[in-house]
Amino acid sequence: MESIHWAFGAFAGAVYGAMVEYEPSFGAWKGAAFGITLNKITHESLLPRIGLSAPTKNQPARERISEWVSHAAYGVVTDAVRRVVRRAL
């Protein structure tokens, strides 16, 4: 399961990088908006619907806050990597 998480994160980061190249406004909040949106789509919508996580209303607030913060941080790091790669090209 962990390898799926890492592969999905890498794929999502690559998609984000491509999207920001075509539409810079997708890079809002230095990538944090991307991370939060990804959390909303996956952890708060898709995963509960397919039974891979508890419904949002059944998750402790601390867990939900942790998911939001960690995904925002993921977005910021993803954007930082994108900027480094962009400069190297």
pLDDT in tens, 16-30: 999 999 999 999 999
What local confidence, expressed as pLDDT, does residue 1 receive? 72
pLDDT more than 90, % of the chain: 97
How far does Cα 15 stand from its chain's mean position? Answer: 11
What local confidence, expressed as pLDDT, does residue 13 receive? 97
* Mean pLDDT on 59-75: 96
| 65 or 1, higher pLDDT | 65
Cβ–Cβ < 8 Å for 71, 35: yes
Neighbour-count burial of 19, counting CB atoms closer than 10 A to its CB (0-12 exposed, 13-18 middle, 19+ buried) = middle
**Half-sphere exposure (CA, 13 Å, Cβ side) for 57?**
1
Cβ–Cβ < 8 Å for 82, 20: yes
* Mean pLDDT on 24-52: 96
